Amino acid sequence: MDNNKCGCESKNNEYYAESEENKLDALKENAECLCDEKSSENEKESPENSGCGCDESPAETDDSGCGCGDVEYPDQSQVNNPENAEFLASEDFIKEFESYTKSLGISSIGYTQITSDLLIKDKFIPYPHTIVLTMPMSEDIIATAPGEEAQELNNAAYAKLGEISYKISDYLRKNGYNTQVAHPYEGMVNFSPLAQKAGLGWIGKSGLLMTPELGPRLKISAIFVSIANLPVKSENKYSWISDYCNRCSNCVKACPEKALLEKETCCGNNETELVQKLCIGCSQGCTYCIEDCPFHTKGYEHVKIKFDKMSAKLRSKNKNKCV
């Protein structure tokens, strides 16, 4: 992350439907917090061993050499790419495809175009058309303290999603389409920003994707495919999550390794940076930032209702100030 940049110039209308400055000022004035504050009694003790972290964040990657994003997985395809690939898919096929995909345990499916800024490894990708998949992490991972057992569970989740992704890829190949799988543990692309671009959710302060189905308790993979008319969404209705997370710091407080650093920008807003060499999410299966996230503990709908009520109060307050 480049700390020399202010970051103010990057705001756009999609992120901010109303004045961000007024909104944040009002939030700071309001005594009601949108998330549950954690007391010092609930803070997690830091594990003895510190490892390097994963690449489930839009922050810049490092070359630490362990954990997520540095593993080469063999191609598990059972079906070869067709010699003469199809490039269009009917609405009926998309429905059948999504039904098959969810029958395998996939929670949500999104469509987008891969761009160079989302690539991590310098690897040839034949098609920009991208299918993004999410799968739930088991509650066992969340309930297990960082360590060898948690890491085994975490690795198993990545492997499971990888196997499912290759099954889905084979299904597409059988139906005449060329594919290439981005394994969830291989680190070919930045998965959270890719999933956000596909309209599946929004990246929270922890750097993890927040979704209505699972909150941050998920794994992400992708399949590049020859289908040129994927039903790509032009808008993302989850951008409000950014405003919510600006007010909540549960994940920052929960991190035992202090891998999430909050900094104030030149505009008076807060910015959070993930220090990947401190994160032990992929080296020890740590999930404390997920465990304490309101999107996990309370659920998406609860948080959204609370946020909407708060936003309505703030709009009314600002309107009265202008009268």
In order along its 323 residues, the chain shows pLDDT tens digits of 444 444 443 333 333 333 334 433 443 343 334 444 443 344 444 444 433 334 443 333 343 333 365 667 788 999 999 999 999 999 999 999 999 999 999 999 999 999 999 998 778 888 999 999 999 999 999 999 999 999 999 999 999 999 999 999 999 999 999 999 999 988 889 999 999 999 999 999 999 999 999 999 999 999 999 999 999 988 899 999 999 998 899 999 999 999 998 887 766 667 888 888 899 898 999 999 999 999 999 999 999 999 999 888 887 777 666 65
Amino acid of residue 262: E
Which pLDDT belongs to residue 71? Answer: 67
Which pLDDT belongs to residue 31? Answer: 32
Helix 91-103 crosses helix 148-174 at what angle (to 10 degrees)?
150
Residue whose entry in the numeric block shows the structure tokens 């970051």: 7
Nearest to 252 by CA among 281, 274, 268, 267: 274
Nearest to 261 by CA among 192, 205, 200: 205
Nearest to 221 by CA among 238, 239, 209: 209
| Helix intervals (H) in 36-126 | 91-103
Residue 82 tokens, joined: 């067709």
CB 158 within 8 A of CB 187: no
Residue whose entry in the numeric block shows the structure tokens 């994003």: 69
The DSSP annotation for 46-89 comes to: PPS------S-SSSPP----SSTT--PPPP--SSPPPSS-----
Which pLDDT belongs to residue 70? Answer: 60
> What backbone phi and psi angles, to 5 degrees, belong to 9?
-70, -15
Which pLDDT belongs to residue 234? Answer: 85
Whole-number Cα distances in Å, 133 to 111, 141, 177 = 9, 20, 17
Residue 216 tokens, joined: 């941050």
Host H or E run for residue 260? strand 260-264
